[in-house]
Amino acid sequence: MKCAEVRKFVRLYLDSELDAKQSFEVQQHLELCAECAGLFEAEKKFDQRLGRFLRSADAAPALWKKIEAQIAPAPLAKFKAFWPLALAASLIIATGVAFFTRSRNLDLAKAVEECHSAYVHQITTPEFSGPVPEKIAQQFDGRLDAEAFAYRPSERAFTTSGARLCHVEGVPVALILGHCAETPVSMIVFRKSELDHFPETKRKLESGDPIACSRSGRYQFAARFVDDHVVCIVGDEPRPALEDLLRTVRGADG
Amino acid sequence: MNNQEQHSAAARFLGLLRPIETDLENYSRRMVFDRRDCEDALQNAVLRAFRAFDRYHDDASFRAWMFKILTNEIFAINRKRGRVAEFEVSVEPEEMEEFASLDFAGDVPLSWETLADTLDEELLAALQSLNQSERAVLLMRAIGDLRYREISECLGIPLGSVMGNLSRARQKMRDAILRAQRRESL
């Protein structure tokens, strides 16, 4: 790709709107061309500064408390007697939120958060356990394989309740649902070739980091390459525990 | 729906809502024409969404679904304030590439991020000068982190219009940066 083309597409690249091939070509060009890379950095800074300005309004926790109380009045009423405890918990949560919002989420971590959140809140449930049913395999559209559903951590702490096919930012993924002790943990597996949809994660994994870690909203996230796949684990577990779990992940023949 | 089911639905709904509350609030504050309407818009939108939660499908993006409901609420409120939505369709999908090429900040000075508070003033003035469609598209992208296709579905406008509005809005914000820099150098 030449400079003129890259400049035409760089805005779409930053917005993650290019297809995998174009995105890869832009990325390759930016690695080689200092001038385009400089302009790309300027545009990225523009996004960051604009984002900071647009998000700078004062938050109104009291408003959200009022709104949430209208949705779940009974449970909130129950906790009235425990207000000192609730206050302490709120402070801990607020400190946590302030800390976590400072650390930037990787694009893939951000994309899979909803998937895991839906599992935690029992909106998403497993579709099958054991071999991939034929009618699901037909939906792979040549972009996923049954092997993706066979990855499991060898660690005994992880128990799986089944799997389902999902789409994350349009990418078909194997979603393997399980628990570590009582904590829900999601494992997301997809083909390495689809990683172009998540350029930040791709850069991190290809820069030599064996494991890419990040927050995924309120959860922890870790990802790494295993054979021809990208394997991610998301859960409300300490980051080192997730990393350890991820290191033990093997495919069907591993 | 019995009591237990209601509590379970509320817990699921709140579990999805909480991670995006701040984004919804920032979006609402920047979108309403009158700041006093922000809280009403949020409250009405969240309650409306909860009432319709049984129609939400888990394979769709909850974030995009909530932004759509909130946007409809804000437009209704803004309309009452006497401002009409401006969704003129001016760009066709095949013109997307042309707009993509306009949307690049080659003319923004590299040193601009060192500008002082004057920049926020200029950015605020530029934001207020955007028409409703430009503002909605810019905020949905910058705060909501929505994809172009999701914005197009939220607003019921073609993808080309999303790109056109986004391009114009960003250009106006970049112009604000240049103005702030000129003011600083005076």
The CA distances from residue B120 to B55, B74, B176, B179, in Å, are 41, 24, 9, 11
**Residue A232 and residue A113 share a domain:** yes
CA distance A232 to A243: 10
Average pLDDT over residues B40-64: 88
- Total count of residues recorded for chain A: 254
Is residue A188 pLDDT above 90, yes or no?
yes
**pLDDT (tens digit per residue) in A210-239:** 889 888 877 889 999 998 899 999 998 888
Residues of A in contact with B97 (CB under 8 A): 8
Average pLDDT, chain A: 81
- Which tens digits make up the pLDDT trace of A152-172? 987 677 888 899 988 888 888
Compare B117 and A76 and report the one with higher pLDDT: B117
Which tokens is B116 given? 């002082």
**CA A15 to each of CA A12, A18, B103: distance values in angstroms, whole numbers, following the listed order:** 5, 8, 11
Q: Provide the pLDDT confidence category of residue A39 given band limits of 50, 70 and 90.
A: confident
End residue of a domain, out of A77, A102, A127: A102
- Together in a domain, A118 and A87: no
Contact A194, A143 (CB under 8 A): yes
For residue B85, what pLDDT is reported? 44
pTM over 0.80: no
Q: Do A63 and B113 touch (CB under 8 A)?
A: no
| Domain range enclosing A187 | 107-250
**A60 and chain B in contact, CB less than 8 A:** yes
Model confidence pLDDT, tens digit, residues A128-147: 888 898 888 888 888 899 99
User: Would the CB atoms of B62 and A114 count as touching at under 8 Å?
Assistant: yes
Closest Cα in chain B, distance from residue A79 (Å): 15
Instruction: Tell me which residue of B124, B106, B59, B140 sits closest to A42, measured CA to CA.
Output: B106
How many Cβ atoms are within 10 Å of B21's Cβ, its own excluded? 20
CA distance B100 to chain A (A): 6
CA angle B84, B85, B87 (to 5 degrees): 140
Q: Residues A38, A115: one domain?
A: no
Looking at the fold, whether A137 and A167 belong to one and the same domain comes out as yes
Residue A41 CA to residue B113 CA, distance in Å, equals: 12
Which pLDDT belongs to residue B92?
A: 43
Asked whether residue A73 falls in the same domain as residue A163, the answer is: no
Q: Are residues A243 and A118 in the same domain?
A: yes
Structure confidence at residue A77 (pLDDT): 43
Residue A239 CB contacts under 8 Å (≥ 6 apart), including other chains: A213, A220, A222
Residues A188 and A165 in one domain: yes
Contact of A66 with B43, CB cutoff 8 Å: yes
Q: Which domains can be identified in chain B, with CATH numbers?
A: 3-80 (1.10.1740.10), 93-185 (1.10.10.10)
Q: How many domains does chain A have?
A: 3
> Nearest residue of B to residue A110 by CA position?
B145
Query: Which CATH number is A178's domain given?
Result: 3.30.200.100
Phi, psi of A226 (to 5 degrees): -130, 115
**Yes or no, beta carbons of A57 and B101 under 8 Å apart:** no
Domain shared by A138 and A246, yes or no: yes
Which chain A residues are Cβ-neighbours of B55 within 8 angstroms?
none
Confidence at residue B178, expressed as pLDDT on a 0 to 100 scale? 79
Both A222 and A121 in one domain: the answer is yes
- The string of DSSP codes covering B100-165 is HHH---TTS-TTGGG--THHHHHHHHHHHHS-HHHHHHHHHHHTT---HHHHHHHHT--HHHHHHH
* Cα(B16)–Cα(A22) distance, integer angstroms: 33
Let me know whether A88 and A119 are in one domain. Answer: no
Same domain, A130 and A202: yes
Mean pLDDT over B145-172 rounds to 90
pLDDT of residue B48: 93
